Amino acid sequence: MTDNLENYGGSRLLEGLSGYTSLHLDQLNFLVSQLVALTIAALYRTLLGPAKVSPKVRHVFGLLFGLWMSYFCFGYQALHLAGLPAACYLVILTQNPSIMHGAVLFTAILYLSMIHLYRQLFDDSSFGLDISGPLMVITQKVTSLAFSLHDGMVENDEKLTETQRSYALKKVPNLLEFFSYSLMFPSLMAGPAMFYKDYIEFIEGNSLMDLKKSTPSSKPVVVHEPNLMKVVFKKLALAIVCALVFVLFLPRFPITRLKDEDFINNTTFTYKFWYLSVATSLVRAKYYFAWTLADAICNNAGMGWDGSSWSRYTNVDIFRFELGTSLKESIEAWNKGTNQWLRFIVYKRSSSYSTLATFALSAIWHGFYPGYYITFLSGALFTFASRTMHRHLRPHFMYSSESKVLYNIITFAATRLVMVYITFPFVLLEFSGSVLIYHKLYWVFHIFACLTLWMVPQLLPKDKMGEMIQKNGIAIALSKAGPYSEAVGKID
């Protein structure tokens, strides 16, 4: 495919091949680099496994191959992939641990924001692969490392959550460890980010140690993972299916059509919503492809074993997202690595306005296109509305299996509609275009969400009996119901 490659700094080696495919050169380079990484990952696991070479060798090889991938895909722009972690490492070494985590977060977000703004203001967006993607992953890595160091060096263990305690660090990594962690090839291009302690356990071969299945002497034993190649091939097959879906069908439903006057003025409410649903679903297939392929690469390198399956670094649960019966369930299934990062550094550390603070950091981390902020602000509104509806409505459906099924059907349909409604601005990017579409949709779900927050607590007071059934089951609920249970006992 012919490209305007004036601003693309990556390798031109495959430019001739790109002309025979439907892929732009940047997309082809990304695909080739990931397929090479998939192959190298197997060699890294077998020939350079922790039982055969030292951790230093594994650090060096992982770093060098990550640097090659960076240069192949981005050329001179790959300097930023070293620049951001270098700036953050300098902050780690020079700042007091009591403020270092905040300083690293500020430095990383500032650096990332400048890259986002440069691309938004000065790039012509003629190519789809840009340096901000890997920088977003690196930002998660270096900031989570800084917070882990703060937890281990400053905070009292009793004040930490279980997750914070498990990832707390007492020692700053050396230069090689830090940069190999930042630029490790399996997760460089599409994530997911992992915590530093998990990475070191992988490098040293301790990720297959299961402390729960220990010997009588409390020494960990090695747990041999089952069917690694079967898992890798299944994920690779799923990635191929997702790639075919967005390559074959996305051009037929371009998101840019939302800006066409004919679409805006001459289509019905129902058709608009149907088109939004199809277009955003096809865009999601692109993310499913990238994340599933990255997951296969991590697994092939020996990363991702959680003691029972190879899903520790799976970044998206496709079926849970698409079939979720609540906004919370679907959000948790999407970009799981980022959700974990946001919980670790913001949500669990902010007692007040934790939801708003989490959405705000997530929006800034993504960039500054207005569509992002429309999506995240709407997401915060609908999260509060969903919680309110869940608290006040669900207990009324807990009395029978039939009513529970009905509730799940209703909430599934509502979740799908809301997801379509709030996510299209994220893809469209524009403020005016997104607001115009909402105007043509009469702001119907925004109005419904506001009415939910205002009226549902008054119209549907909490059903205390339903809440007890929901939490404890019918028998326990009746036993705690006081006079009601006594009256039941007196019936002949």
What are residue 377's DSSP bridge partners? none
Helix axes 336-345, 132-153, angle to 10 degrees: 40
pLDDT recorded at residue 191: 87
Exactly one of 335, 396, 446, 472 is catalytic; name it: 335
Q: What is the pLDDT of residues 101-115, one digit of tens each?
A: 999 999 999 999 999
pLDDT bucket at 463, cuts 50 / 70 / 90: low
pLDDT at 6 over 90: no
C-alpha torsion angle, residues 10, 15, 19, 23 (rounded to 10): -30
Average pLDDT over residues 257-271: 95
Length of the chain in terms of residues written = 492
The helix (run of H) or strand (run of E) holding residue 129 is none
Main-chain phi, psi angles of 232, to 5 degrees: -60, -45
pLDDT recorded at residue 468: 52
Spatial CA neighbour of 188 closest among 34, 343, 361, 407 = 34
Please enumerate in sequence order all residues whose Cβ is within 8 A of that of 62, keeping only pairs 6 or more positions apart, or say none.
Answer: 44, 180, 183, 184, 185, 186, 203
pLDDT at 224 over 90: no
- Residue whose tokens read 């909402």: 438
pLDDT bucket at 399, cuts 50 / 70 / 90: confident
pLDDT at 227 over 80: no
Tokens of 269: 């409410």
Nearest-angstrom CA–CA distance, 394 and 467: 8
Please enumerate in sequence order all residues whose Cβ is within 8 A of that of 296, keeping only pairs 6 or more positions apart, or say none.
Answer: 38, 232, 235, 236, 239
Spatial CA neighbour of 308 closest among 166, 204, 212 = 212
Tokens of 407: 């509730």
pLDDT at 5 over 60: yes
Nearest-angstrom CA–CA distance, 149 and 99: 11
On the 0-12 / 13-18 / 19+ scale of CB atoms within 10 A, 359 is: buried
Which tops the pLDDT comparison, 345 or 2? 345
Tokens of 359: 């959405």
Worst-scoring range by mean pLDDT, 50-59, 154-163, 416-425?
Answer: 154-163
pLDDT recorded at residue 372: 94
Highest mean pLDDT among 33-42, 323-332, 342-351, 457-466 belongs to 33-42
pLDDT recorded at residue 479: 44
pLDDT recorded at residue 2: 44
Spatial CA neighbour of 108 closest among 429, 364, 426 = 364
Q: Is residue 335 annotated as a catalytic residue, yes or no?
A: yes
Exactly one of 59, 101, 366, 392 is catalytic; name it: 366
Average pLDDT over residues 28-48: 95
What's the chain's average pLDDT? Answer: 88
Residue 236's alpha-carbon distances to 29, 242, 298, 384, in angstroms, are 18, 10, 12, 37
Q: What is the pLDDT of residues 110-140, one digit of tens each?
A: 999 999 998 888 765 544 568 999 999 999 9
**Alpha carbon 385 to chain centroid, angstroms:** 22
Q: What is the pLDDT of residues 138-154, one digit of tens each?
A: 999 999 999 999 999 99
What ranges in 154-260 are assigned the alpha helix state H? 162-167, 175-183, 196-204, 228-249
pLDDT recorded at residue 200: 96
pLDDT at 478 over 50: no
Average pLDDT over residues 431-440: 96
Tokens of 201: 């356990």
pLDDT recorded at residue 3: 52
pLDDT at 470 over 80: no
pLDDT recorded at residue 255: 93
CB contact at 8 A, 84 and 179: no
Q: Are strands 221-222 and 209-210 parallel, antiparallel or unpaired?
A: antiparallel
On the 0-12 / 13-18 / 19+ scale of CB atoms within 10 A, 356 is: middle
Q: What is the pLDDT of residues 249-259, one digit of tens each?
A: 999 999 999 99
pLDDT bucket at 474, cuts 50 / 70 / 90: very low
pLDDT at 4 over 80: no
Q: Is residue 366 annotated as a catalytic residue, yes or no?
A: yes
Q: What is the pLDDT of residues 66-93, one digit of tens each?
A: 999 999 999 999 999 999 999 999 999 9
pLDDT recorded at residue 100: 97
Average pLDDT over residues 261-279: 96
CB contact at 8 A, 285 and 255: no
The C-alpha angle 22, 259, 136, rounded to 5 degrees, equals: 60
Q: What is the pLDDT of residues 334-355, one digit of tens each?
A: 999 999 999 999 999 877 788 8
pLDDT recorded at residue 225: 54
Q: Report the percent of the chain where pLDDT is more than 90.
A: 70
Q: Report the percent of the chain where pLDDT is more than 70.
A: 87
Average pLDDT over residues 456-477: 60
Please enumerate in sequence order all residues whose Cβ is within 8 A of that of 162, keeping only pairs 6 or more positions apart, or say none.
Answer: none
pLDDT bucket at 492, cuts 50 / 70 / 90: very low
Q: What is the pLDDT of residues 167-219, one digit of tens each?
A: 999 999 999 999 999 999 999 999 899 999 999 999 998 866 554 444 445 55
Spatial CA neighbour of 144 closest among 196, 183, 189 = 196
Worst-scoring range by mean pLDDT, 55-64, 201-210, 325-334?
Answer: 201-210
Whether the bond into 192 is cis, omega within 30 of 0: yes
